[in-house]
Amino acid sequence: MSLSELIAGVAADERTLTVFNPRGDAVERLAEHFQDRNISVRAATASEGPSNFAVLGTGEKFHTAVDVSDVLKDQDDVEPGFERESYVPILDHLDETLFRSYDRKQMLNATREIEDRAWRVGAGELHAGFQTGDNLRKQLDSYRQLGSRDDLYVHAYIYPTEPVPSVEQFQLHLARTEEIRHSWFVVYDGNGVDDYKCALVAEENPLGSGFSGFWTYDPSTVDFIVSHLTSSYSIIESDGFGGDATGDTHVRAPPR
């Protein structure tokens, strides 16, 4: 299964947010709040129970319930991120829910959360797809710093269309595949600890209109993504690609 197929599977899994006994424009505000997510918002009436109470589910499956005011109280508290404690309760259940049309700033903010987790743990594997060498070049200082962190092994993937940056602190994978050319991903294996595992996977929309994808804390999904990347883009030792790269799948591997 490719990264694109993984995203398509998430896209097909729409979640429903049902607001019981809504007050005022609560439904409209929630619909606007989640307009870039694969979530439908609807109103319902219950003869018993509290007002302005929302239930999140997928089909017949219940995920969570929360007061609407807890979701809408502070926009700053519900921006995409990867630290569970930064979420209000309902957002803990929005991993593996499709987002649409995220711009590069939003993608970078989400990416930084995963990179920060990998840095703090200081061990394990971090895999990041940059699409092009130019995108990687803008992040070279950060990734050289990450690659120098204790027992953290960093892998960067690009579609080589230009001279490739010279690196020593991390492994640079060069792959002329559509998946690498159009995907933005950052995956941390948690150094084998399930509670630390997280990933962001997205692909560029047609005509460059942002990115669509999802984030996940699910250990099995993270393990699958890592396995897919390591098996699809195997390590081939090289003398380096300081100029034009011509191979289909290569890696510049630094000494450890």
Confidence grade of residue 60 (pLDDT, cut at 50, 70, 90): confident
Q: Which residue has the higher pLDDT, 210 or 209?
A: 210
Cα–Cα nearest to 37, from 21, 22, 17: 17
Q: Contact, 211 vs 205, CB < 8 A?
A: yes
Sheet of strand 39-44, all strands in order from the earlier edge strand to the far edge = 39-44, 15-20, 53-58, 61-67
| Helix, strand, coil percentages in the chain from 3-state DSSP, rounded to 5 | 35, 30, 35
Residue 212's pLDDT band (boundaries 50, 70, 90)?
very high
Mean pLDDT across 184-197: 97
* Predicted confidence (pLDDT) at residue 136 exceeds the cutoff of 90: yes
% of the chain with per-residue pLDDT over 70 = 84
Q: Which CATH class is domain 100-252?
A: alpha beta
Q: For residue 237, what pLDDT is reported?
A: 39
User: For residues 104 and 93, what is the distance between their CA atoms, to the nearest angstrom?
Assistant: 24
| Architecture of the domain defined by 3-96 | 3-Layer(aba) Sandwich (3.40)
The answer to whether domain 3-96 and domain 100-252 are alike in fold is no
Residues with Cβ within 8 Å of 251's Cβ and at least 6 positions away in sequence, in order, are 171, 172, 173, 174, 233, 234, 235, 236, 237, 238
Any idea where the domains of the chain sit in the sequence?
3-96, 100-252
Query: What's the rounded Cα separation, in Å, for the pair 61 and 58?
Result: 5
Judged against a pLDDT cut of 60, whether residue 85 lies above it is answered with: no
| Residues found in the chain | 256
Question: Encoding tokens for residue 2?
Answer: 């490719």
**Which of these, 188, 81, 185, lies nearest to 130 by C-alpha position?**
185
Question: 167 vs 85, which has greater pLDDT?
Answer: 167
Higher pLDDT, 211 or 79: 211
Amino acid identity, residue 8?
A
Q: What pLDDT does residue 74 have?
A: 59
